Structure 1
């Protein structure tokens, strides 16, 4: 006979599970508007609309957060596109085909230079669009406007979806109003931007506590003398009742882009955008304290002298809200480290210092917080955070200590508790889990191979351990240009971080600067097997965390071949260095806009430098792709110009 206490235990457990408050569980929905849509340019117009409908919850269902996710991939039927175009994403009609047309911009997608990307390439971006929650209801038309002048034989595979978190709104939205929307001439003495960005008077809604400006803003064009607006830094001010509430430099560093390397000038800083970027909006809150307020945008005064074509693409929507619904409400926005997400590749994998992003969604200033974190299967750790976060402000928290892991795939869990020492009034967004792969394992004896380029004064190579102790360093002071260095290290057991830093933000190689030459950096075992190879075209540099074990599990998937195409900005000739593990057959293809121009076959090659003569080719941009035994080993863009 089964003991009665066992039966009672399981009965109690069932009742406990069954009686849990369902409101404590996060409820989510995913709405897809565009799924595997092949988008191409319309060169006769310079833009091409791709519209599709999404069915969102009705107005009776409460929505707490909405995030828009956009992904681009290599199309199945055509080649991938090459150019960095600004593609607006807008809400078109609402309520069906006969409904109202709103034409509200909700995102700006800046396409990457795609010529280097292979058939299996795909990337995703994600931004917060919660402020549009009152509009994203029932049937909504989402329009993706692919701009540019490329031919119909190249394009992208597009997906757009919306991740919804259902539940109490952070604050009640009372109204919205479009303030500015368009391309505004900049630096044109006959059409000053101040004449277009005129002040707007707003009227307070009943119960309104604060206003929120949601701004999407990029600069384009190439005038003289400053290269505005794409390549010139200029400031923008937002004023309320003639008082500046926001001043910022409309400029963005691009050499730290997570999507790298790209085919074009991806490292060049730009006018508040970078190639391969879904722009996150500027969100600026201000108190509404009287019946009317005046809002004004001002740009840094500037007058172009030649090639007057600069413009500022600006959309700004004003939302009015009641007071935030909760006093103490914090959200765990993202686990940055450790995390396998491709867009976080600049930080991962890592041995130390987990990183998270938190956001204060409560009306009280957030001054303290308890963070508990652990890798599944390991001991839980606790960190007491203190700081000062106003409503809707974010902070990156670096958690102390090493990251626990088993070899292979792991789960990392984080939970937020006790904002300001009190119970979080919306705990459903206080936990997250990330999946991460443990850092590579290495033997204790390794060889560091460093081929410097023609500008070694820009580069530093370092190895530190988890206690931040310097183990190895190659600085500009002890490095000659265009020189091969090989150093053998005997490392103790434990974790390490190896970094390549570039103060010029152009890596060991960048096609636009052929005089820079090219270099490379790799770690090998004493038998010559490559254990890790750094990307030479890496902008600001790279970091690589690894661990030394007595019996390391070596990654056998590391590419052993050394393949370099240099130079990639040419008048007549370029060279392709091919060093393979064994004698192999293959071919070199030269393409232009996806069309094959020339094939160079080869047989039984192991170590050879191919001289590729392109003197008979017309000027333009080409792609050179190397196939070895049918597998694509290299795909890079080159620019041929006789001038």
Structure 2
């Protein structure tokens, strides 16, 4: 157990906390040094003290030490949960069932007919028998004298073999061969005798001078397919079943293959050796694995596999487009660090390559379908710019975006099977599967196609290599140095390819056989057909028996049998010709035997807070991180003693702290429960159809007087069967309902209409400003709470949930989902009748969470909570800056018990802000409803604040519109809220220049975009770009605003010179324009001097431009980007004090 000390603090003044002399206990759990630790046991207060409030400070920091990906903050917006684990002390065990019989390396069976006799499948082959009776004319040509002999041309000591032999045009012409048909050829047998089975001779014309294993020639025209018996010394005649026409100018490649089910000693063929590669051969058997598409797969041992630039190669022969079947799928379950290649996307026949990192995937579909019943070499590689490239038979067919796989240990890895249970098995044959942790060039991929790796230990980057050579015990051996073996499951069969099928394992041979070509005329040429069936024995199945009732998991016997029943005979095109029945000798019937597993403690996880991580590319949350504060007071009983807690993920560093503020809570927490179980994903259609979150009666404790329900919902998914927006449920604004006994007691929306585009964590790397259902990237998820006290009857409350109906014209939206967490909190009676609390100060406040609304010089805004049992209708509020004159506001309104409301406090003028130099704002409340507050300990609040920029003279505002000016308006108001400047109905791509000549005082500017995308937004380049800048009267830039601001720019400034107001920021002034740009990009530098090194990167990280320029007051430097491809780029620069970055969009 990890323990942290508990600190006792006396709260005197803290930014953004209540101010009163109260004891606060601080518990520190995870820190930024907890690089990957995200769960642990920590010591929390374990005494009888009561706490009026418990705050959780959740701080994230971007840092190179993060392990999730290559960014300091993780790239994607992920759900994260803070959970407390309730150790119940209760133990349980799970009832299991184990079959009395299991197939080794196969799926369980219910019953199976078996035989002890071998079974087989058959393959029909059509032999062609050619005869030339009544020959009218005959002539032949040869290629010189015999010098050498070799058995490797027809090496029938092997079961299978394939050769390609080239005779060049020059050689044929030298023989004296004339243009016309060739009717046969002869090889000279120097020694040996015997038969050749299934000799296949094919030929094609060519202009090649040599042969290469890098480019095996595809040959279709069959000239001979038969057996030749009783071969001995002399000429071996091969009559062609169809004439081969020679054009007099080309060479000829002969493709010769054979199959010998019973090998013999072989034959020596006469010819001559030379240094020219006229022949390529296979010199050993080639094995492939066959998956039946029903239950066959290979399970691969755990390994990291690839985790950087990579190349994956394999040969595949697909027989059917089984829905979402896989070539391979390596991961840790569905959507967990998968590296996968589908055999078909759905049933389209097109492959998809996909890489998952912690739930996020990048993938693309290969638009060229894999053909059926044809061997294809497939290679996919990832390059440094995060682009995936796919090759069929060495030629590029597709490229697309692909992420780098994480360096994760992958434990659930398959060939022929998916990690997703709903997907089907692959119906295919596979050969020469190779994984490399390097990106191979296209030429190297071509070289690999038809060759085996002779020395895997010398192959750079090779991390997995299956050539499927048969092994013992159904093992698939990895020939790389990693030794990551696989195991065959089901009936997947490893078999030796027939000679004509061989596609790999070729070698060069500098030998050309002696040959005679002949041409004849026959009055009655006869070609007959003979069909022959060749059998291939099936692999037997092994079974393990479990017959001990006291422990049915222990094996007692092993048996080996063949599956009885019908086996097919196939035509050459793969279709079924016939079947043969192998008689059943007996049956195995499965029986499931019950038993109990080891006891385990029942642990209940409780979600106490939810957070969505920001889009983290190029994001910086500051040297001390960014903090979000949660009120977790309702979980007080879980935060006692030794607490098992988890939070966050690995995208950012995490600091998690709890402050226990001692005092009397508004009402005592008696119990907390989950009416519909722990948080979980629920489909929209199930919520609408009342299949989940159905009406339930929740029993209250006898002492319970009050109750509320905390609702925590976030919508996710991009579902729509029409393609029309909104896609559900991330982008759909639904109404949520709470019912009791069938009556609606609450309805609400969680749609974040303005919260996302006004997020203080901005701009982010992704689509951060978009409105979403219940959440924003880089923000905490709010709880929506409803009082249940009025609906308690006989110490029970009936509750039900409902939601907006799924649109009937777009039922696909129903497949979207919500992450739903709901807690019912039971309380004793509210302690006070009259208790008003200053819950928070929104402004003035230097807390970064409120930075989009600060600094201010107009009305402060606070949050009041009514902790009493009586509705709050009036209040005295005292407020001011420390050292200044306090002001009193008599507020009137309505705040129901245990509810909050924002209250604006008027100021009488600029002098309101004159105080000492501490910049502290103080506020307190009293006299709720005209009576004494019964709990004054929560009446006071104090914040540190920052004063607005000072501009000591009149200045010029320059506002440039983008291409959609109708969306924007800009106003300036004085300290009393009077509008002094109003810009509306502006024109596209126009520049508005105004001189501001207000009287000395404090003013507020608000630039509003009603569509929440700022003047510039990388994800919507069609809107163009604009800017907002302030200049002094001499034309020098004094303020430059970030154009990617989402919804609003809120900026307060002081005109003139007032005491205790800071000088303008010394922000580095860098502007790029126009943006988007076509060819000439201007970079304006102001308030920076000396050298300014700048770089421009493509979105994939490739450096496109680098230059060091001289900076000066309002200097402008122009760069020609006309040769850059359209897209999004990043410009970076550095001065002695600042690092800057700007997004650039290039359009044409």
TM-score by length of 2: 0.49
Query: By how many angstroms is 1:411 displaced?
Result: 1.0
Q: Which has the higher contact order (CA 8 A, sep 6+)?
A: 2
Alpha-carbon contact 2:837-2:938 (below 8 Å) kept? yes
- Aligned mates of 2:762, 2:1073 — CA distance in 1: 17
Q: Which residue of 2 aligns with 1:291?
A: 795
Q: 1:56 aligns with which of 31, 44, 58?
A: 44
Q: Which residue of 1 aligns with 2:85?
A: 92
Q: 2:1008 aligns with which of 482, 489, 501?
A: 501
- Aligned mates of 1:377, 1:52 — CA distance in 2: 46
- Aligned mates of 1:574, 1:631 — CA distance in 2: 30
Change (3 A) 1:438 1:221: same
Query: By how many angstroms is 1:517 displaced?
Result: 0.9
- Match status 1:513 vs 2:1020: yes
Q: Which residue of 2 aligns with 1:177?
A: 673
- Residues 494-536 of structure 1: CA deviation (Å, up to 9, x unaligned): 2222221222222211112212111111212112333322221
Alpha-carbon contact 1:173-1:320 (below 8 Å) kept? yes
Alpha-carbon contact 2:881-2:915 (below 8 Å) kept? no
Change (3 A) 1:133 1:597: same
3-state SS of the aligned residue for 1:208?
coil
3-state SS of the aligned residue for 1:482?
coil
- Residues 325-383 of structure 1: CA deviation (Å, up to 9, x unaligned): 12211111111121111111222111121111010111122222111111112111111
Q: Which residue of 2 aligns with 1:427?
A: 936
Q: 1:276 aligns with which of 762, 778, 785?
A: 778
3-state SS of the aligned residue for 1:212?
strand
Query: By how many angstroms is 1:488 displaced?
Result: 2.3
Query: By how many angstroms is 1:213 displaced?
Result: 0.8
Q: 1:124 aligns with which of 627, 651, 655?
A: 627
Q: Which residue of 1 aligns with 2:418?
A: none
Q: 1:243 aligns with which of 709, 720, 743?
A: 743
Query: By how many angstroms is 1:73 displaced?
Result: 1.3
Query: By how many angstroms is 1:35 displaced?
Result: 0.9
Q: Which residue of 2 aligns with 1:112?
A: 614
- Aligned mates of 1:108, 1:455 — CA distance in 2: 36
- Residues 163-205 of structure 1: CA deviation (Å, up to 9, x unaligned): 211122321222221123343443458x965212122221121
Query: By how many angstroms is 1:560 displaced?
Result: 2.5
- Aligned mates of 1:362, 1:629 — CA distance in 2: 56
Give unpaired runs (5+ residues) of structure 2.
Answer: 1-18, 67-71, 91-599
- Match status 1:438 vs 2:947: yes
Query: By how many angstroms is 1:406 displaced?
Result: 5.4
Q: Which residue of 1 aligns with 2:733?
A: 233
3-state SS of the aligned residue for 2:674?
strand
Change (3 A) 1:613 1:222: farther
Q: 2:25 aligns with which of 21, 29, 34?
A: 29
- Aligned mates of 2:656, 2:1120 — CA distance in 1: 44
Q: Which residue of 1 aligns with 2:1105?
A: 600
3-state SS of the aligned residue for 2:690?
helix
3-state SS of the aligned residue for 1:266?
coil
Q: Which residue of 1 aligns with 2:819?
A: 313
Alpha-carbon contact 2:729-2:813 (below 8 Å) kept? no
Q: Which residue of 2 aligns with 1:344?
A: 850
Change (3 A) 1:560 1:598: closer
- Aligned mates of 1:50, 1:638 — CA distance in 2: 37
- Aligned mates of 1:194, 1:56 — CA distance in 2: 40
- Aligned mates of 1:91, 1:553 — CA distance in 2: 45
Q: Which residue of 2 aligns with 1:465?
A: 974
- Match status 1:381 vs 2:887: yes
Q: Which residue of 1 aligns with 2:717?
A: 221
- Aligned mates of 1:407, 1:608 — CA distance in 2: 45
Change (3 A) 1:523 1:407: farther
Alpha-carbon contact 1:116-1:637 (below 8 Å) kept? no
Query: By how many angstroms is 1:220 displaced?
Result: 0.5
Change (3 A) 1:256 1:119: closer
- Match status 1:186 vs 2:683: yes
- Match status 1:357 vs 2:857: no
Q: Which residue of 2 aligns with 1:12?
A: none
3-state SS of the aligned residue for 2:1022?
helix
- Aligned mates of 1:242, 1:168 — CA distance in 2: 36
3-state SS of the aligned residue for 1:195?
coil
Q: 1:586 aligns with which of 1093, 1096, 1105?
A: 1093
Alpha-carbon contact 1:94-1:139 (below 8 Å) kept? no
- Residues 22-52 of structure 1: CA deviation (Å, up to 9, x unaligned): x973221221221115667xxxxxxxx8212
Q: 1:69 aligns with which of 48, 57, 81?
A: 57
3-state SS of the aligned residue for 2:644?
strand
Query: By how many angstroms is 1:641 displaced?
Result: 12
TM-score by length of 1: 0.84
- Match status 1:328 vs 2:829: no
- 409-418 or 173-182, larger mean C-alpha shift: 173-182
Alignment: residue pair count: 593
Q: Which residue of 1 aligns with 2:873?
A: 367
Q: 1:489 aligns with which of 996, 999, 1002?
A: 996
Change (3 A) 1:616 1:37: farther
- 535-544 or 105-114, larger mean C-alpha shift: 535-544
Alpha-carbon contact 2:648-2:654 (below 8 Å) kept? no
Change (3 A) 1:575 1:125: farther
3-state SS of the aligned residue for 1:134?
helix
Bigger CA radius of gyration: 2
Change (3 A) 1:260 1:145: closer
Alpha-carbon contact 1:24-1:427 (below 8 Å) kept? no
Q: Which residue of 1 aligns with 2:913?
A: 404
3-state SS of the aligned residue for 2:828?
strand
Q: Which residue of 2 aligns with 1:4?
A: none
Change (3 A) 1:242 1:156: same
Q: How does 1:7-46 map to 2 (within 5 A)?
A: 25-36=21-32
- Aligned mates of 1:637, 1:183 — CA distance in 2: 38
3-state SS of the aligned residue for 1:324?
coil
- Residues 305-341 of structure 1: CA deviation (Å, up to 9, x unaligned): 4487411100111121111112211111111121111
Alpha-carbon contact 1:264-1:637 (below 8 Å) kept? no
- Aligned mates of 1:442, 1:273 — CA distance in 2: 38
3-state SS of the aligned residue for 1:80?
coil
Query: By how many angstroms is 1:59 displaced?
Result: 4.5
Change (3 A) 1:77 1:636: farther
Q: Which residue of 1 aligns with 2:1069?
A: 560
- Aligned mates of 2:58, 2:820 — CA distance in 1: 20
Query: By how many angstroms is 1:90 displaced?
Result: 0.9
- Aligned mates of 2:897, 2:87 — CA distance in 1: 31
